[in-house]
Structures are given as structure tokens and as C-alpha cells.
Chain A
């Protein structure tokens, strides 16, 4: 009973955050809307017994990615003339909704035709950090290593891309 209410509230905030992100002209408001959505999704993770992922979502997504976005937003000194004029925003939103309807209908129908799950209560260590660590370092070790290399590349890449080119006055 309680979980239903919590579920409804969290999903309401997730969707409302998404819609806010979609609608507002100023990117600051959109970023805040996204933040609300991410926090709600983290809550939904927790409701689904994925406790480790709840923490990861909060730390990485809300704490790192959204912070980075807000930092860059404020760093770039955005004034009103930099923002694009979007005259047909709502018409395009309607168009997008019309495009996505068949996709959603098919997926939801497929999902609802799945055999009913046996909703037994899972063991308490489901979604804990230790089982995830075990799986990560035993079954998914290759992906793990590759992800770390990817993060290194992203690190180097973002510095290289954003560096201002220096003009060499003396001959090297």
C-alpha cells in the first residue's frame, strides 16, 4: 500500500521533471527539471531493491553529471541572444508524441504479454554491493576493464577538445 503511493509519487515527479525539461526555454530550468527526474528515478531504483544503484545514480548522475552540466551552463555566460528562437516548439512536441505512440504501444503490449512474475520476496542481499562486486569482477571483468579505459579516453579527450590553441610566436 505504502509502496504504491511512493511509486506513484516518484513516477509523478520523474515524469513532471521530464516535461519541465522539455518545455522551458531557459536551459537552467530545464537542468533543474532533469535533476528532479534523476532523483526520482534514483528513488525508483531503491524501490526495486537496487540499493547499490540507487547510490551510484545519486553520486554519479546527480552529483557528477548534473553538476557538470550546471557548471558549464553558468561558465558559458549565456544571455538571451545566445538562446535559439523556437517558434514551433509545441507543434514539434506534438509531432514527436505522434511518432512515439506506436513504439510505446508495441513495447507495452509485448511486456504485458509476458507471463506473470512470481512476486516472491527476494533475499535481502539482492542488489547489495557485495553480490554486485562479485559479479562485476568475475563474470563482467572484461567489460569492467574496457569501461575504465573508456573513462581514461574521455578524460584525455575532453581536455584536448576544450583547450584553447596557443599561438607559437617563437620557432620551435
Chain B
């Protein structure tokens, strides 16, 4: 039998890959996709607990999360379009107007 720990392991790996993607990549699409991967990892974690503790509630929560992810996708991609229109680049490091120190 596959234990809870194995599923938890997989889900944490996915979550960690998502976090690393947010930190390490500058491409705005990749950052968004890493966020989606994080959400997926957490969904897996929830479903695992639902299965192993015979509770349906985490599955409902997962439904909520997926619908929120859908809403977020719509907004996020609109913003990406806006940013691309204004700067003609997909680099997140060029948006630094809120700085107080030296601008790099």
C-alpha cells in the first residue's frame, strides 16, 4: 500500500518546484505556471488527507481552490497582456518603479 507519506512527499516536491519557479525564473509566464503548480501540489495534499481520513470535506475545498485558480487565471493573463503591451518584454525585473533605493 502506498502510505500517506509517499503522497505527501510527491505533493511537497510539486509545491517546492513551484516555489523555486517563482524565485528563479524571470519570465512572467513561467512564474504564473509555477503558481499553478503550487496550487496543484496543495490540491494533491488535500485529496490525500481526504482519502486517508475518510472525509469528504477536503475534496470540497479542492473544488473551491480549482475554481479560484480559474478566476485567477483570467485576471492574471489579462495583466500579462497589459504588461506586454506597455513594455514589449516578458521580463519581470524591469518593473521597478516602486523602489526607494537605487534603481538597478
Contact = CB atoms under 8 A, between A and B. Distances in A.
Interface of A: 3-4, 7, 11, 14-15, 18-19, 21-22, 25, 27, 30-31, 34, 37-38, 41, 44-45, 48-50, 52-53, 56-57, 60-61, 64-65, 68-69, 72-73, 75-76, 78, 82-84, 86, 89, 92-93, 95-97, 99-100, 103-104, 107-108, 111-112, 114, 117, 119, 122, 126-127, 131-132, 135-136, 139-140, 143, 147, 150-151, 153-155, 157-159, 161-162
Interface in B28-62: 29-30, 32-34, 36-37, 40, 43-44, 47-48, 50-54, 56-57, 59-60, 62
B53 A117 contact: yes
* Interface residue tally on B, bucketed by range: 35 or more
Contacts of A108: 5, 8-9, 12
B93 to A, nearest CB: 7
B47 A45 contact: yes
A27 B27 contact: yes
Contacts of A111: 4-5, 8
Contacts of B21: 21-22
A69 B73 contact: yes
A153 B73 CA distance: 13
A131 B25 CA distance: 41
A131 B41 CA distance: 24
A136 to B, nearest CB: 6
A107 B12 contact: yes
Contact of B82 (A19, A75, A82, A162): A162
Residue from B14, B20, B54, B62 whose CB has the most chain A CB atoms within 10 Å: B20
26 contacts: A3-B2, A11-B6, A15-B17, A27-B90, A37-B37, A37-B40, A48-B7, A50-B50, A61-B40, A76-B81, A76-B84, A95-B23, A96-B19, A100-B16, A108-B8, A122-B54, A127-B59, A136-B60, A139-B57, A143-B60, A147-B64, A150-B68, A150-B71, A154-B70, A154-B71, A161-B79
A38 B79 contact: no
Q: Is the interface of B mostly helix, strand, loop or mixed?
A: helix
Nearest to B23: A96
Interface string B61-104: 01110111111111101111110100011111100000000000
A69 B27 CA distance: 14
Given A44-B47, A78-B90, 10 more contacts: A18-B14, A25-B27, A37-B14, A50-B50, A50-B59, A69-B73, A82-B88, A92-B23, A157-B75, A158-B75
